[in-house]
Amino acid sequence: MLDIYHFSYGWLTPLLAYAMSFTGSLLGLQCTARARTGQGRAGWLALAAVSIGGTGIWVMHFIAMLGFSIKGAQIRFDVPLTLLSALTAIVVVGLGLFLVITPRPTLFALLAGGTATGLGVGGMHYTGMYAMKTTATISYDMRLVVLSLVIAVVAATVALWFTLRVRGFVPTIGAALIMAVAVCGMHYTGMSSMHAHHSGHHAAPSGVDGLQLLAPLIVAISIVTMLLLISISLTSIERDIELPPLRPPTLRPTGDDVAPPPIAKAPLLQPVSTPIERPEPEQPDHWVGTDSPTTPYWPTTRPVPRRR
């Protein structure tokens, strides 16, 4: 039996794999939160399937495989089978999301979606392992294989439950951390079921090296992740908070920027209860047209003849 190393580069590959699984799970939960609103449901669920199945599961799997090595054996990867495993992960996660994210989800739909998704994730894992070509002979412990499938079903069911119940950014981060632990636990449980033996073949296996597969993988996943982050940032994260309506701005001339001093308002005229006293006209210095001062004759506009 040959020695198998799962951590050839120390904790670098497990931590990087966990980080990618957390990122994919977080983006997937954010997309499903928007799908629950009913606007663009199919599009958001498709993005969630790519995030969880592609980044959170498949990318995590192959980053972890970079730290896998067999003493005295060469390892290559079959590209078509590797791409098939990626497609399997995205399709089964999308199927589970479409079964669960409905206007009225039921417990049966949750269990059915979790079972289908978990078995699909397990199928993706072992399809990816079959895509690994090596000069050694690989065998599996069926007890650990069944345990890994059970973990995959439970992890998928919990992940789908999170997509239904988790609301808010901080609880979503906690759910993504738990989902990443479940995915990584399923992967390393399945990897621990492997045993390697001498095959007697010394010819190099067909396929590409792990680093040659990872370089374009990182570029593609980085682009998809960036697009998802932009799509999520353009939508409101908290839909429960309603902002007040915007008011049109009031435009003023430049000269009105300095406000004029306030003008004092005149007090309102109060009604007067007593009659208004008018001043009497002044008496003239001489009297015209009469000899008695008691009966004055006021001049008019017509000329008055003088007395002779």
C-alpha span between 171 and 157 (Å, rounded):
17
- Give the list of residues 6+ apart from residue 131 with CB closer than 8 angstroms, or none: 77, 78, 81, 82, 84, 85, 207
What is the predicted pLDDT for the residue at 54? 87
Domain ranges in the chain?
Answer: 10-233
- Residues 181-229: pLDDT tens digits? 888 988 999 888 888 887 766 677 777 887 777 777 767 777 777 777 7
The stretches in the chain having pLDDT less than 50 are 237-249, 287-292, 295, 297-298
What is the predicted pLDDT for the residue at 277? 59
Q: How far is CA 80 from CA 77, 85, 168, 212, in A?
A: 9, 9, 39, 14
Pick from 22, 25, 30, 32: nearest CA to 51: 25
Pick from 39, 28, 167: nearest CA to 89: 28
